[in-house]
Chains A and B, each alone.
Chain A
Amino acid sequence: MIDLCGVSKSYRLGEVVLAVLKGVSLHIDAGEFVAIMGSSGSGKSTLLNVIGCLDTVDEGSYRLDDIAIESASEDELAALRNRRLGFVFQSFNLIPRINALRNVELPMIYHRVAPDERQRRAYAALKNVGLEDRAAHSPAKLSGGQQQRVAIARALINAPDIIIADEPTGSLDSASGHDIMYLFAQLHQQGKTIVMVTHENEIAAYAQRVIYLRDGVVEKDERR
């Protein structure tokens, strides 16, 4: 499903060119739950962004099923992210001025779902994460764990097949963190492909495969 072949990526910081990914080749099958680990600066976030079609590569190729991502246009990538990828971030990234329900609806407005249908589906999604009675609350009135669950409902609303999660428990206490990972485990059971960056071993333990990155190359690829 996800095929990376010799992917390199570097950033220019003033005069210095920083190679973040140095020829990463990786294959992830549909339905896998993968954790990417590594120290800071190892390139794990960049790799996740590349897999999530948020960032482009300098060298190498990335194929998502039959789609050559490196040659897709900006608008095509936007459509792809909208329909096939769901994003969960460490800092939740909810829009503060609109309530939980509206936040969950957001991906659907870029997919032209009719307003009635949108509301119905967003409400159902909130119910799935156990927050139907918080639909009208603004993000500021929700706990961190609740905010992350709203974000997960948003990530799932267009029924993507891949979940991209960047340290999803990084801002949560350990109990909320485990609640979120419990949701991830259920999603995995339902056949979603999950690619998650984390630096906590006990969070990585939920995944069946852990990829260790070091200085922009895959150091270890463990299946459990």
Chain B
Amino acid sequence: MIAFAGRSRHPESLASLSRGTSASLRDIASQAWWALKDNWLRSVLSVLGIAVGITAVMAVGTISKGGHYLVFSELETFGLKSVWVFRDRQDKDPHRAVRMGTGIDNDDYAVIRSGCCPAVKRVSPGIHDFGKRQIIRAGNRYSNASVEGVGSEYTIINNDTLVMGRSFRFEDEERRRPVAIIGPTPHADLFGAGQNPIGKEIRIGQQKYTVVGVLKAKSRGFLASIGSAGGQDANNRILIPYTLYQQQLGKKEINWLQAEAVSQDQADIAIAQISDTLKRRHGERFSYRGETMAQYIDTANRILQGVSLIGVVAASVSLLVGGLGIMNIMSTSVLERTREIGLRKAIGARRRDILLQFLAEAVFISTIGGVLGLLAGTLASYGLALATGFPLTPSMTMVAVALIVSIGVGVLSGYYPARRAAAMRPVAALRYE
């Protein structure tokens, strides 16, 4: 005869029956896992929905980070602490407005340079051709570079580095030496890109200059494309001592001063100190205006934030679609498995057990999708990092956000179907056809 493992049982109280009778999380998880495996195609599709959403989130993060690097690497080519001071031509005062001149002269430069302004670390005059364009040539080769007369500290202020030769020295401006530093474009135009031009002669107008240095190429493509590069090509420049340029042009004035503030925060103070000094020295005959790199940095940050916001909205929409996908398949699954739910309740599953099982299925889908999205997003950002040279690998914060968001989407989208399953009455569920 068959022996059943039946121990004799004494009637138990409800309290002792209820104690500890609910499934462990481990068992709930494995029940959920088997259910997902059983419907693997459906599971894979909804996993992909979430993976796409999380990839989008990662992409937004990487792209905004990349944009930040792009813009700042270009802004850096101006020197992040740079300020520019020049006469305010839109002066409302009719007496001042009619006066001729730039309002800045060599003595002003000497005073500011000698340390009148605590917020100013370095300063350089800036001279352009006053509309008298000079012909630039070396032998029979010509260049259309813009010529700037500058001070000896200009390259430091403007964050310019040299690939060949040397920068200006103070004696160059003091003694009006005929020396020139050329950008990569005039280097190619006048000598050929591979040639060493150091010590060679070029002519600007009637004046001969000896090339002493070659500037490194600067990338301002993005800023130029949004019209923020100051309207000129940073690579098509020739720098000469401002004193000699003044003499050649027959001028005694300086068009603008470019200075380096002691810090980015001090940029506005540096402008105020320079303007005040200039006003005082010219007996309030002119008024002045300044621009700081900080303004451009603010503008760039605002643009980047706007772009990121659009990206965040787009990524959220794709995550929402992924979440709705989970909600849809979980609702279908609950309906299809009504009898199973009834059976589980009949053999002792509580509301909580059923709720957690279906919630676990949704969270599995979204978490696996999240991990896949994370991998895809990371790969994409490495690709972009390789292509752009920016360090764009995802941060730990981004990884954490992606995982938390994907788990959250699973819980939110699984909760409603899971609750419906948990609330089913066992009799009705067992009778369901």
Q: Which A residues lie at the B interface, using CB under 8 A?
A: 49, 52, 54-55, 65-67, 72, 74-76, 78-84, 87, 89, 93, 95-98, 102, 106-107, 109-112, 121, 124-125, 128-130, 154, 156, 158-159, 161, 183, 186-187, 190-192
Contact = CB atoms under 8 A, between A and B. Distances in A.
A97 B23 contact: no
Nearest to B353: A110
Contacts of A82: 21, 347-348
A121 B5 contact: yes
Interface of B: 1-9, 11-14, 17-18, 20-24, 27, 31, 34-35, 37-38, 339-340, 342-353, 425-427, 430
A50 to B, nearest CB: 9
Nearest to A105: B27
Contacts of A109: 23-24, 27, 31
B347 A87 contact: yes
Contacts of B31: 109
A202 to B, nearest CB: 22
Given A74-B351, A81-B348, A110-B22, A125 B5 contact: yes
Given A93-B430, A183-B2, A79 B349 contact: no
Contacts of B24: 109, 112
Contact of B34 (A72, A97, A112): A97
23 contacts: A55-B427, A66-B13, A75-B351, A78-B21, A78-B345, A78-B349, A79-B14, A79-B17, A79-B18, A79-B348, A80-B14, A81-B345, A81-B347, A82-B347, A89-B430, A98-B34, A110-B22, A110-B348, A110-B349, A112-B21, A156-B6, A158-B348, A159-B6
- Among B2, B14, B31, B340, find the residue whose CB has the most chain A CB atoms closer than 10 A: B14
A75 B339 contact: no
Contact of A110 (B3, B4, B13, B350): B350
Contacts of A54: 345-346, 426-427, 430
A54 B349 CA distance: 12
A190 B4 contact: yes
Nearest to A65: B11
A145 to B, nearest CB: 15
A121 B5 CA distance: 9
A112 B12 contact: no
A79 B5 contact: no
A128 B353 contact: no
A190 B12 contact: no
Given A109-B24, A110-B23, A75 B348 contact: no
Given A79-B18, A97-B34, 6 more contacts: A82-B348, A87-B347, A95-B340, A96-B38, A156-B4, A192-B6
A52 B348 CA distance: 12
A186 B1 contact: yes
Contacts of B343: 89, 93, 95
Contacts of A130: 2
A66 B27 CA distance: 32
A158 B4 CA distance: 11
Nearest to B342: A93
A84 B345 CA distance: 14
B14 A93 contact: no
A159 B348 contact: no
Shortest 9 CB-CB distances between A and B: which pairs?
A82-B348, A97-B38, A65-B11, A110-B348, A109-B27, A107-B347, A79-B21, A79-B18, A93-B343
B35 A97 contact: yes
Contacts of B37: 97
A192 B7 CA distance: 11
A217 to B, nearest CB: 21
A49 B430 CA distance: 11
